[in-house]
Amino acid sequence: MVPDRDACLAAVASRDARFDGTFFTGVTSTGIYCRPSCPARTPAPANMTFHPSAAAAQAAGFRACKRCRPDAVPGSPEWDVRADTTARAMRLIVDGIVDREGVDGLATRLGYSVRQVQRLTLDELGATPLSLARAQRAHTARVLLQTTDLPLAEVAFAAGFGSIRSFNDTVQQVYATTPSGLRGDRRRPRAEAPGRLLEISLRLAFRRPFEPGNVFGHLAATAVPGVEEWRDGAYRRTLRLPHGAGFVALAPRPDHVAATLHLADPRDLTPAIGRCRRLLDLDADPVAVDAALATDPALAPLVEATPGRRVPRTVDPHEFALRAVLGQQVSTAAARTHAARLVARHGDPVTDPVGGLTHLFPTPEALVDPDPAALAMPASRVRTLTGLAAALASGAVDLSPGTDRDAARAGLAALPGIGPWTVEVVAMRSLGDPDAYPASDLGVRKGCAALGIDPDAGPQRWRPWRAYATQHLWAAVPHPINHLPLEAP
């Protein structure tokens, strides 16, 4: 996981932000650990050690640098590129599974024993699943301490700690201060009254370059009324979270994405952040992707013109899979209309603190036997939708963050009415597969035609980044998904 020592030393010497989150630098003379791009004085090489994760640096006795905040860096891009068990485990840990179900629950979802999972993460990340989750809890606690005035005990349990003592000990070890000291005297927004939504504002980091046009444009152009909207320069949507409903507003900025969350339960902060990062593909390595795609003469001019394109994904894999079926062989506008009918009839109502969002998208269970009045579509597509809903509800098809992508693809393809286009689009956006490629997609075909590319043979040279190549192909023809909206759609 960690590059060789010479590469690490060079990255630290040049303060190369591309390596932030890929490895962490422990400084033996000060006892702190930093991101490679830390602006502080570069330590002597003899005083530097390198670690594959923040949890590994913490386990080695280092505390987080207060200047560069290494706990807030983008996650390693490895976990989306790879599909092995360690990558699946990391995607589940980021989603908060260890906090909710423990290491036993993580191992059960992966189909391995606890000992095997611990060995895998120790070998590759230098830390056990519990240590990795603990590092994540520490970051969540810092965000809550510095952005809300929740009582310390509530912060501890909202961040996932099992006791006040473990909360205090972890904050002291990771940040070399007490929770009260970490909170400081800065002014913070007040927590809402009991029963009201808690508002939290934070910055989501990304690796540069970042082209927001296609990812935000796609989300806004395909937004389902009542569930999503573009308002005041931000993409807003409802969130179905483990402990209740939530809302998020995401707005692109030159050096970060501004996120404002409204949560019914502060324990949902960790999964909400992880799902928003996944939605916008913020942990990608755009330099590596662009360098690979630019070797194709047909794509090189597009990559040079708009470097840093991301793949728009989803906050709810089941939701997107169901929406993909609604979008089979129809326009973007028609797919939105079909989805809006389902939302109005079968979605769970919510009260938006800002206004405009009215429902959570229906669960698969709610669409196993839907109201026919909400399904103004061909009978064959209704059967496909209800068949997929039943498979998702029963667990016969698993699209969760830790699923085996090949098994998920096979499960989808076995369902009546699910063809290659649906499988690949779901793999791209629900499963986060960077090599998913919907070859039969009309936009892909038009983009290939405009660039003189064989849509079936040519893309083999884009592996393993065909999902990113797809974004450039879609951008080769005019469509609202390719740019930031000027006003609400």
User: What pLDDT, on the 0 to 100 scale, is given for residue 489?
Assistant: 43
Same domain, 28 and 91: no
User: What pLDDT, on the 0 to 100 scale, is given for residue 454?
Assistant: 87
Same domain, 232 and 250: yes
Same domain, 166 and 305: no
Q: The CATH number of the domain where 31 resides is what?
A: 3.40.10.10
In angstroms, rounded to a whole number, what is the distance separating the alpha carbons of residues 245 and 242? Answer: 8
**Residue range(s) defining the domain that contains residue 37:** 5-56
Say how many CA atoms lie within 13 Å of 414 toward its Cβ: 10
User: What pLDDT, on the 0 to 100 scale, is given for residue 129?
Assistant: 96
Inside any domain, residue 457: yes
Residue 393 phi, psi dihedral angles, 5° rounding:
-65, -35
Inside any domain, residue 198: yes
30 contact partners, CB below 8 Å, separation of at least 6: 43
In angstroms, rounded to a whole number, what is the distance separating the alpha carbons of residues 316 and 270? Answer: 15
User: What pLDDT, on the 0 to 100 scale, is given for residue 185?
Assistant: 60
User: What pLDDT, on the 0 to 100 scale, is given for residue 76?
Assistant: 86
In angstroms, rounded to a whole number, what is the distance separating the alpha carbons of residues 321 and 403? Answer: 14
- Report the amino acid identity of residue 443: G
Inside any domain, residue 375: yes
Q: The CATH number of the domain where 174 resides is what?
A: 1.10.10.60
Number of domains in the chain: 3
Would the pTM of this model clear 0.85, i.e. be above it? Answer: yes
Q: Are 286 and 308 in contact (CB under 8 A)?
A: yes
- State which H helix or E strand residue 374 sits in: none
| Beta-strand pair 32-34/63-64 | parallel
Q: The CATH number of the domain where 431 resides is what?
A: 1.10.340.30
Closest CA to 314 of 265, 370, 274: 274
Residue owning tokens 């996932």: 160
Residue owning tokens 């906050």: 315
Cβ neighbours of 146 (radius 10 Å): 13
User: What pLDDT, on the 0 to 100 scale, is given for residue 1?
Assistant: 66
Same domain, 110 and 91: yes
Same domain, 196 and 176: no
User: What pLDDT, on the 0 to 100 scale, is given for residue 456?
Assistant: 78
Same domain, 217 and 104: no
Same domain, 308 and 357: yes
User: What pLDDT, on the 0 to 100 scale, is given for residue 149?
Assistant: 85
Same domain, 178 and 228: no
In angstroms, rounded to a whole number, what is the distance separating the alpha carbons of residues 363 and 381? Answer: 18
Same domain, 158 and 290: no
In angstroms, rounded to a whole number, what is the distance separating the alpha carbons of residues 184 and 180? Answer: 6
- In whole angstroms, how large is the CA radius of gyration of the chain? 22
In angstroms, rounded to a whole number, what is the distance separating the alpha carbons of residues 290 and 302? Answer: 10
Same domain, 169 and 200: no
Inside any domain, residue 66: no
Q: Are 36 and 47 in contact (CB under 8 A)?
A: no
Same domain, 320 and 196: yes
Active site residues: 34, 441
| Cis peptide bond prior to 209, omega within 30° of 0 | yes
Q: pLDDT (tens digit, 0 to 9) for every residue of the chain, 489 residues total?
A: 678 999 999 999 999 988 999 999 999 999 999 999 999 999 999 999 999 999 999 999 999 999 999 988 888 888 888 889 999 999 999 999 999 999 999 999 999 999 999 999 999 999 999 999 999 999 999 999 988 888 999 999 999 998 999 999 999 999 999 999 988 865 555 544 455 799 999 999 999 999 999 999 999 999 999 999 999 999 999 999 999 999 999 999 999 999 999 999 999 999 999 999 999 999 999 999 999 999 999 999 999 999 999 999 999 999 999 999 999 988 889 999 999 999 999 999 999 998 889 999 999 999 999 988 778 889 999 999 999 999 999 999 999 999 999 999 999 999 999 999 999 999 999 999 999 999 999 999 999 999 999 887 768 889 999 999 999 999 999 888 888 887 544
Q: Are 252 and 219 in contact (CB under 8 A)?
A: no
